[in-house]
């Protein structure tokens, strides 16, 4: 069952000590306090639009580096801290052509034991060649979401900070035998309790 806005809101407000999304915005917001347009964030009819924090790493070509990208033996030298730009009311980073960034959500997520979430690209980003490749959030997973964005175009791509970047769609079912927090004898999976930081591939 896909959760609607009322069901999502209840999971975020009924238990103030452990809300599913924190901070939680109970409506869709598409302008700043002074009326400037932003990429919408907050609660929508059947999902929630999360935002990108300002600590971002970009994959870059380094002629002095002889390596391949290997998820089992990831070399962090293929990344560098992205430069933050400002444009009036907005902050952003530039994703180089055919490149990729890693960031994380401003929001901390606490998945219930019988709910999972799928992370989808916002349509405004997708329609100009940006793709969010973040993976599902499993039952009982907790943390800030590491977010991955690819630029499929031949031009620099403007990725806005603190604005809507991806949508979570929540699916409710019966509690699985093993939740994410049950893995490793109750220690949780390898990406459990991610903080507000970029977490690279682990094995």
Q: Hey, which residues are catalytic here?
A: 148
Burial 74-93 (b: 16+ CB within 10 A, else e): eeeebbeebeeeeeeebebb
Strands 28-31 and 130-132: unpaired
Separation of alpha carbons 94 and 193, rounded Å: 28
Q: Alpha helices, DSSP H only, in the chain?
A: 5-13, 123-126, 183-186
């Amino acid at each position: 069952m896909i959760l609607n806005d009322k069901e999502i809101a209840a999971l975020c407000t009924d238990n103030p000590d452990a809300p599913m999304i924190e901070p939680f915005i109970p409506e869709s917001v598409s302008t700043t306090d002074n009326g400037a347009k932003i990429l919408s964030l907050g609660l929508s009819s059947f999902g929630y639009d999360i935002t990108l924090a300002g600590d971002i790493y970009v994959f870059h070509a380094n002629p002095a580096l002889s390596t391949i990208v290997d998820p089992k033996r990831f070399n962090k030298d293929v990344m560098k801290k992205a430069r933050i730009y400002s444009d009036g009311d907005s902050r952003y980073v530039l994703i180089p052509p055919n490149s990729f960034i890693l960031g994380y959500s401003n929001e901390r997520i606490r998945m219930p034991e019988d709910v999972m979430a799928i992370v989808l690209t916002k349509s405004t980003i997708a329609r100009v060649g940006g793709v969010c490749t973040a993976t599902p959030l499993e039952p009982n997973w907790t943390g800030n979401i590491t977010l991955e964005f690819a630029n499929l175009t031949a031009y620099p791509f403007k990725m806005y900070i603190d604005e809507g970047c991806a949508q979570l769609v929540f699916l409710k079912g019966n509690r699985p035998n093993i939740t994410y927090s049950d893995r490793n004898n109750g220690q949780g999976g390898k990406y459990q309790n991610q903080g507000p930081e970029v977490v690279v591939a682990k094995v």
